[in-house]
Chain A
């Protein structure tokens, strides 16, 4: 179970990181 929730925390981080990258890409597309 611990590994599951640690994995979930890592997943949260990764998704937010990807979200940040997506926000940055929106700027490139807007230009």
Chain B
């Protein structure tokens, strides 16, 4: 690992914390319903929305009412995005005259963007019209992020309130999160991105003449769209000569901003943040990483403010940061290390002034190993899924860490809202385990944790491993699942495991090499994405409702402090233990075997 990598990580964390603190103050005001500093003028717009929608902002909801409103809103959103894709050929803002999306792909994409996953089985510039990108996908980028924030606010209220049936009003939380946080930040960020060179237009794609023809090989595909393989199972390649290149255009900056801020991750272009029109400069790359973590980190501070003890938020943030730093160092170390086969040939793989060293396969030379590996850790620790390098080309251990970060449940900063509520569920689990050890009724922030809360916690923690492991098992057993694998063996298994880990944990990034735009994967991954999102939200809202109804007890000499280093260590231990117990056998079959194969001869 180079000093450059360490310096970049340190700078990233310092800037992030400096920005997250004021962000947390704003988020706390958004969550508690009060006027937001500097944005009083938007209060009239907020009231207008409620009036038009017929929402009574003062009315409060129990957890079931909150959950039903959330589910109805998101189900309607999914139907809308599905319909938009199926009709895009008839709709305006489609200069390339792109046709309607196939039903299974439209279904997958609708669920993907509603669930804040943004898994993309399609290539954006070859598939989606500008209208679909703007109205369907970007719209859901805002709404899915606001949904996550709303659930986080509801859970915080469950801890903060005293003996009440209410956990807030979903429509108010959704509106305030969008109006006061996501829209202003996205506006600022998209202007910044345009300044860096991200495009924003409605032009038709531009054809340019190449200086000299380029001949390259691509995998041959059959009538079913799948790669053709020879008798040995290797993909059949065909030569193609290009004399012109088509440069895709579009309203990219406006989608790019919320893609990062909302931890959505779905790229306008297929190459995502490796595309120069999405991520043109090292500065845009750095700020994009900050944008991914800004709201999740800010929500930790907001949590502390809203429960009346800022130390609680800092403790949660500390636990997240510890895991994140360890994981980032692991990826950086793995990618900067020498490849054993090249080392055996005597190839110099050390970083120097003239070369990056290490493993540069699949990475942009303008970002290098440091900014690519940090981006990989950030995007998978958060449930973003944007990529500026191809994770499939990482070393086996370098690729395993992003996979593990997703499998931990996207609680290391995690998604907007979902990272915090996921980590708070682990905090409940941690105090329960501590309570068992010291023989006291578990208690967190003055709320006694009863059997019902533990049942809901167990469900919330176990839903995603079931979806990931069962989905992977089904895919490797069926021909339809194995048909999409371009790299048979341990790496192919990793590609499938990564896909289901990404889908069920609502990340959305992908190992390349898996042809997932098939009816089988479109359907299976849609199941994983929907239930990985909403079957976790439901028990969390149930916990919020149960906690809200309880009195908040004052701390006494027997209360276990949950703001100190002991609790932070316990929380980190619980997150890692649950993740390791769930996934080590599966990881052993994929990246661990591949790593051992690398060194076997």
Interface residues of A (CB under 8 A from B): 1-2, 4-6, 8-10, 12-13, 15-17, 19-20, 23-24, 26-27, 30
Most buried by B among A10, A15, A19: A19
Main secondary structure of the interface of A (DSSP, over half): helix
20 contacts between A and B (CB under 8 A): A4-B103, A5-B106, A8-B107, A9-B75, A9-B78, A9-B79, A9-B82, A10-B75, A12-B75, A12-B534, A15-B531, A17-B68, A23-B542, A24-B542, A26-B452, A26-B455, A26-B456, A30-B450, A30-B452, A30-B455
Q: Is the CB of B71 within 8 A of A13?
A: yes
Q: Which residues of chain B are near A2, meaning CB under 8 Å?
A: 86, 103
Whether B511 sits at the interface, judged by CB under 8 Å, is: no
Q: Is the CB of A30 within 8 A of B75?
A: no
Of the residues B71, B86, B110, contact of A17 by C-beta under 8 Å: B71
Of the residues B71, B107, B455, B541, contact of A5 by C-beta under 8 Å: B107
Interface residues on B, range: 20 to 34
| Number of cross-chain contacts by CB at 8 Å | 68
C-alpha gap A23/B546 in the complex (Å) = 11
- Say yes or no: A5-B104 contact (C-beta < 8 A), given A23-B456, A26-B452: yes
Question: A14: shortest Cβ distance to chain B, in Å?
Answer: 9
C-alpha gap A17/B481 in the complex (Å) = 29
Q: Which residues of chain B are near A23, meaning CB under 8 Å?
A: 456, 459, 538-539, 542
Question: From residue 555 to 595 of chain B, which have CB atoms closer than 8 A to chain A?
Answer: none
C-alpha gap A17/B67 in the complex (Å) = 8
Whether B201 sits at the interface, judged by CB under 8 Å, is: no
Question: B461: shortest Cβ distance to chain A, in Å?
Answer: 14
Whether B530 sits at the interface, judged by CB under 8 Å, is: yes
Q: Which residues of chain B are near A27, meaning CB under 8 Å?
A: 452, 542, 546
Main secondary structure of the interface of B (DSSP, over half): helix
Interface residues of B (CB under 8 A from A): 64, 67-68, 71-72, 75, 78-79, 82, 86, 103-104, 106-107, 110-111, 450-452, 455-456, 459, 523, 526-527, 530-531, 534-535, 538-539, 541-542, 546
- Say yes or no: A12-B455 contact (C-beta < 8 A), given A6-B82, A24-B542: no
Most buried by B among A6, A17, A27: A27
Q: Is the CB of A12 within 8 A of B111?
A: yes
Q: Is the CB of B538 within 8 A of A5?
A: no
Q: Is the CB of B71 within 8 A of A16?
A: yes
Question: A16: shortest Cβ distance to chain B, in Å?
Answer: 5
Q: Which residues of chain A are near B530, meaning CB under 8 Å?
A: 12, 16
C-alpha gap A17/B530 in the complex (Å) = 13
C-alpha gap A9/B85 in the complex (Å) = 15
Closest B residue to A28 by CB, please name it.
B452
Question: B117: shortest Cβ distance to chain A, in Å?
Answer: 14
- Other than the given A9-B110, A30-B452, 20 more pairs (CB < 8 A) read A1-B104, A2-B86, A4-B103, A5-B82, A9-B78, A9-B107, A12-B75, A12-B534, A13-B71, A13-B75, A16-B71, A16-B530, A16-B538, A17-B71, A19-B535, A20-B64, A23-B456, A26-B452, A26-B455, A27-B542
Q: Which residues of chain B are near A4, meaning CB under 8 Å?
A: 103
Q: Is the CB of B546 within 8 A of A20?
A: no
Q: Which residues of chain A are near B71, meaning CB under 8 Å?
A: 13, 16-17, 20
Of the residues A1, A13, A24, contact of B103 by C-beta under 8 Å: A1
C-alpha gap A2/B107 in the complex (Å) = 9
Question: A28: shortest Cβ distance to chain B, in Å?
Answer: 10
Question: B500: shortest Cβ distance to chain A, in Å?
Answer: 17
C-alpha gap A15/B456 in the complex (Å) = 17
C-alpha gap A23/B75 in the complex (Å) = 20
Of the residues A1, A6, A10, A20, contact of B538 by C-beta under 8 Å: A20
Q: Which residues of chain A are near B534, meaning CB under 8 Å?
A: 12, 16
C-alpha gap A8/B107 in the complex (Å) = 9
